[in-house]
């Protein structure tokens, strides 16, 4: 098992993808060992590390980041997580293209993720997924409309809301305050025979 | 990638664990290839198959089911999913004990899952997780209090609420009706050095 | 008290405003006896009746509806609810103007509610509210941007999600399925001294 | 209209009932001018003031509070809200009985609200409501089971979740963090002919 404590030892240089969303991306796409993933932008590398822990030891995550500081943080974090052989942090802008082919999953967490969809489509295997992590409704809409135009076979937008509970001898109830929203997740799937 | 279409070809003989909950179990525990899992009861085998797809090819899921009809359905479904070498469906009652040792994850989806916690504790590796899938609040409470008594180091109860969206040129909004509740998930973790 | 059974005796000719949303409109605006309300479009008249029950006996609801069939249903329903003296159903299109002045609350439940905001602004008292009942995010956005342009002092958009519970000796949990979304509510408030 | 600004000028000596819950109580019960209400305990008086604004000018709220400091705060707040003629704050413990009869609505916000249900039943008119404001599931369960034993005709437990949105030209999304839980609301209704 990949220890969740690892994440508490990592540096946070950007808004990180929460584990509820990482879990949905992993679980809904059926990610498994040996899969090949492109993750962009890497940010602090949290999502790349989560995905890397699942595709290890035989799979690969190509993690794109063009901002100097995030690139350094992501690299350091991947190394602390012991995943240097699985997650390759690339100092590149995904909007300029994806070099890899036969990719199972592309995750996009950019202000304009829809602009990277054509590159994702080209890089993906048949039946592969491109998942947008999209804070605003407008981004989910642009992402979906662009994916449909490019020929993605299906598009599902969903929100994962986590509600933690206080479970105590003296009484059970949801926590009083907490996270209400992180991002909409749009799952676009490439057509074809897997 | 493990194709989500596989699930649509499986037989449903019992209330199945939804993918939002399976995803959270996979993602929150850090499950990965090579891990050893006990899943009880198997029901139709959906959760065993999800977990099996992640721990494959080197890991193992031991799937306990003592009801004749579910046992047969689970076996058939595991076979249809092509996971016979990873998921072993056992015709046994987990309340009578867990034969395996050095387990990374035990998932319990029984009416009285708290009664299996002592067996789970014994079977788990240090830092391993026992996750209860618990429809009622009372079950989550009994599970938590029993886990604390047995010496589990931490207990977190959470709910995953999925809200799908209609994303269309003419307007975006959440779907009108849908699933409001499946189960509370309680994550109990065994103490120790991983 | 205004009996909730009354609603079960009314005819439903259109999507009705749910009581969770009617309750929020009443409670968040501080509606009370004697207040003057414009409600458009009336639809089946459910919201007009809810609002009428609160402003009665001294207040008034002017309920606009330009579609023949809804106009008739709304009138019949208001009469069955015993509120003919409080709720006046008008066979008129609110987009062509609001005849009344010194209004405390305008509620708009139209496909293009933002087009009626200028009329609402003119009809409202200082500190009065115009509330949009808006199924899609885009409608809430157009409504908000138009309200800000027109000089409304504040705009709050909110969603009311109701989750019913099964509370039973044998176990408590939220209902399995149900309503996930009706509409966003945008509360625009006219500036001024109340 | 009853100005929501009034609440911002009141003193907060206890956890106050939020307006989403006050709104549901008002809207779901059909409260209106002239109704007679018992509210216990008063706490800072926020709920009494909300209810008072709806039953005014001809109705009445009897607000029970036996704790010295809350009693004083509630009285001061009722006076600041200009509702002295409608809301009567009584320095009494509702668990020792309700003096009033022919009550339309009793609201109970105590640690052990179920203990006041028999008094509420006796005080209520036929078809009147007793609403429990119950933070923990166990309280909602005790309240419901006791209400059923006492002969209340129906019991509905519900949760009102409010989700505020950021609606901006540059993008719309729910607020990032906020209130996840206040209380379960249980509506118990006395049988009879209204």
Tens-digit pLDDT profile for residues A47-102: 999 999 999 999 999 999 999 999 999 999 999 999 999 999 999 999 999 999 99
State pLDDT tens for residues D36-86: 999 999 999 999 999 999 999 999 999 999 999 999 999 999 999 999 999
State pLDDT tens for residues B140-178: 999 999 999 999 999 999 999 999 999 999 999 999 999
Taking the C-alpha atoms of residue C57 and residue C59, their distance in angstroms, rounded to an integer, is 6
CB contact under 8 A, B1 and A194: yes
Give the other-Cβ count within 10 Å of B176's Cβ.
Answer: 12
Mean pLDDT comparison of A8-22, B158-172, D8-22, highest-scoring range: B158-172
pLDDT at B194: 58
CA distance A94 to chain D (A): 23
CB pairs under 8 A between A and D: 56
- In b/e form, how buried is each residue of B35-62, taking b as 16+ CB within 10 angstroms? bbbbbbbbbbbbbbbbbbbbbbeebbbb
CB contact under 8 A, D157 and C164: yes
* pLDDT of D18 above 60: yes
Positive or negative CA dihedral for A79, A81, A86, A91?
A: negative
Q: Is the Cβ–Cβ distance between B39 and B47 less than 8 Å?
A: yes
Q: For residue C66, give both structure tokens.
A: 């330009």
Best CA proximity match to C24, nearest among D19, B75, B18: D19
Among A15, A174, A185, most D C-beta atoms within 10 A, so best to mutate, is A174
Interior CA angle at D23 toward D18 and D25, to 5°? 100
Q: What 3-state class would DSSP assign to C22?
A: helix
Residues of B in contact with A164 (CB under 8 A): 156-159
Q: Does domain D5-189 have CATH number 3.40.50.150?
A: yes
Q: Is the Cβ–Cβ distance between B26 and A26 less than 8 Å?
A: yes
- Residue listed under structure tokens 């946070």: A12
As for the ipTM of the complex, it is: 0.96
DSSP assignments along D59-118, one per residue: -EEEEE--SHHHHHHHHHHHHHTT-TTTEEEE-S-GGG-----SEEEEEE-STTGGGGHH
Burial of D91 (0-12, 13-18, 19+ CB in 10 A): middle
Q: For residue D47, give both structure tokens.
A: 């709920």
pTM of the model: 0.96
CB contact under 8 A, D167 and C186: yes
CB contact under 8 A, B177 and C178: yes
């Amino acid at each position: 098992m990949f220890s969740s404590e690892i994440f508490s030892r990592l540096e946070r240089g950007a808004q990180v993808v929460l584990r509820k969303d990482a879990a949905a991306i992993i679980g809904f796409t059926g990610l498994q060992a040996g899969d090949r993933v492109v993750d962009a932008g890497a940010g602090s590398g949290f999502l790349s590390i989560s995905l890397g822990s699942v595709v290890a030891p035989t799979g690969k995550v190509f993690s794109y980041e063009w901002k100097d500081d995030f690139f350094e943080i992501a690299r350091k974090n991947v190394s602390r997580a012991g995943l240097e052989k699985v997650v390759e942090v690339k100092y590149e802008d995904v909007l300029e293209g994806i070099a890899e082919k036969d990719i199972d999953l592309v995750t996009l967490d950019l202000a304009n993720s829809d602009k990277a969809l054509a590159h994702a489509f080209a890089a993906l295997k048949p039946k592969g997924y491109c998942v947008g992590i999209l804070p605003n409704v407008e981004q989910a809409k642009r992402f979906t409309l662009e994916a449909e135009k490019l020929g993605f076979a299906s598009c599902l937008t969903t929100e994962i809301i986590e509600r933690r509970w206080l479970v105590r001898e003296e009484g059970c109830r949801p926590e009083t305050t907490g996270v209400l929203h992180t991002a909409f997740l749009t799952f676009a799937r490439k057509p074809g025979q897997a």
